[in-house]
Amino acid sequence: MTQSENSSQAPKRLLLINAQGSKQPSGTAGMNIGMGYVAAAFRRFGWEVSYIDQGLRKCEAEDLIREAAALGPMDVIGVHVFTIFVPYVMELVQALRRAFPNVRLIAGGPFPSATPELAMRKFPELDALIEGEAEGAFPEFDRFLRDECPAADVPGLWARGADGAAVRGAPRRYPDLSEYPMPAWDLMQPQRYFAIPGAQLTAQRAIATVFTRGCPFHCAYCSAHAVTGRQVRARPMDVILDELKMLRDVYGAQEIIAMDDGLTINRKFLLEFCRAVVREGLNLSFSAPNGVRLDSMDREVLDAMSAAGFYSLAVGIEAGTQSRLDKMRKQLTIQTIRDKVQLVKETAGMTLSGHFILGYPHETVEEARNTIRLARELPLDRANFFSLMLLPGTEIYEEAVAEGLIQAGEFESRSAFVPGRTFAAYSETKLHLLMVEAYVGFYLTRGRFAKLLRRIRDPQQFGLFLRLVWRIVRG
């Protein structure tokens, strides 16, 4: 145990906020497992931690301030920032600074990790931010917040200097996941999220967690590596099994949602995991909605996943022409997509969803319709057609800046389900019409709409589905 982990030190108090605003875009509600890991890391070093999920509460900034004040004096307030929520979070951080002028304000999450310098400019009220995994910054981060360590020594830290300028600390690091404690599940209270219909639209009590972190691929539209890095790291198997049993027995979980970005990339780990689940007789269902790599699928993997209880997978397909896939750096061929989707349906019989992107820069209407056509032809049960978002930290963002399509520092704050600004070879109005055409064409073929309705077991889930359809149609 390090000195910072010794309970003899005076405890400090931290409030973590999952900041989303009161009117977040569709499809964004849900538990933020990353906050559970951050809370556990702080607790490990003797901090008293409180947590407010603004996305769950859907409260305005003023209500959140009152709730925060009722918790008592805090030494530090930490705010999680998704790029699509930046306008909401800017208002919240300003309100926090006014209400708590002497409290240290720090931020973390995808936006600060992808573009820390911009984040420090957008949020002048911040004292510091962490890029990457906050857990990887300990124990130096703990010592910095106790005024025992200079900012320059903290991995991934950006701190406000005496002149207000951002000062960068040491390079971020990504430790072995065996060094991280289990998430603070008691603080997260995952049962609070059972009433939020999940991506699979089932009536099961589902809890989201992760088994691995990192993705080695370089898809041009993705910024996941900005937080978790490119090396796939797996949690210790005994810790995973203990966690699953606890989620089942203590919180009543029936389904585990694997939110990994690279769940199937480490084949050895995945097979070991599936066999351990069968051996332990956990009696849980599993889903993977984030989009697994199709080229990592084979009969042995699919048989193992099916035996372990995986019933629903999403796969990242993205485009229907090879030239567009190549520009996306997807490292997939159209033939591999067709072969592997067919293999999944024949071997595992799982519910299979496909992710597709429309509105890529310079994409033609013909290319978009090729994507729509491929989605209809594949034996998929569901499809998500996303309107491309140019996110800081992605290769396509840097390309757009280099081409002069956008200015450095520009970004969008919207849901990818809703068409926005596009640099395709067609207008935003046409993008909206193509998305409607994509959904209507997909679900009105192969009897998909009727099958989808039969799987929905709860009125709230049906209402969520209708609201999502309406947002897409309305644009």
Give me the pLDDT at residue 475, please. 55
Give me the pLDDT at residue 328, please. 96
Give me the pLDDT at residue 56, please. 84
Q: Is the dihedral of CA 72, 77, 82, 84 positive or negative?
A: positive
Give me the pLDDT at residue 80, please. 96
Give me the pLDDT at residue 413, please. 77
Give me the pLDDT at residue 466, please. 67
Angle between helix axes 267-280 and 299-308 (nearest 10 degrees) is 30
pLDDT tens-digit profile, the chain (475 residues): 443 454 446 779 999 999 987 655 444 457 899 999 999 999 999 999 999 998 887 788 899 999 999 999 999 999 999 998 998 899 999 999 999 999 999 999 999 999 999 999 999 999 999 999 999 999 999 999 999 999 999 999 999 988 888 889 999 999 999 999 999 999 999 998 886 655 455 557 899 999 999 999 999 999 888 899 999 999 999 999 999 999 999 999 999 999 999 899 999 999 999 999 999 999 999 999 988 999 999 999 999 999 999 999 999 999 999 999 999 999 999 999 999 999 999 988 899 999 999 999 999 999 999 999 999 999 999 999 999 999 998 999 999 999 999 998 888 777 787 788 899 999 999 999 999 999 999 999 888 887 777 766 666 666 666 666 666 566 5
Give me the pLDDT at residue 465, please. 64
Give me the pLDDT at residue 450, please. 79
Give me the pLDDT at residue 5, please. 52
Give me the pLDDT at residue 236, please. 97
Q: Among candidates 473, 409, 391, which has minimal Cα distance to 435?
A: 473
Residue with tokens 């304000």: 105
Give me the pLDDT at residue 9, please. 63
User: How far is it, in rounded angstroms, from Cα 81 to Cα 239?
Assistant: 28
Give me the pLDDT at residue 456, please. 67
Tell me the domains of the chain and their CATH numbers.
3-168 (3.40.50.280), 200-474 (3.20.20.70)
Give me the pLDDT at residue 29, please. 55
Give me the pLDDT at residue 149, please. 94
Whether 320 contacts 370, CB under 8 Å: yes
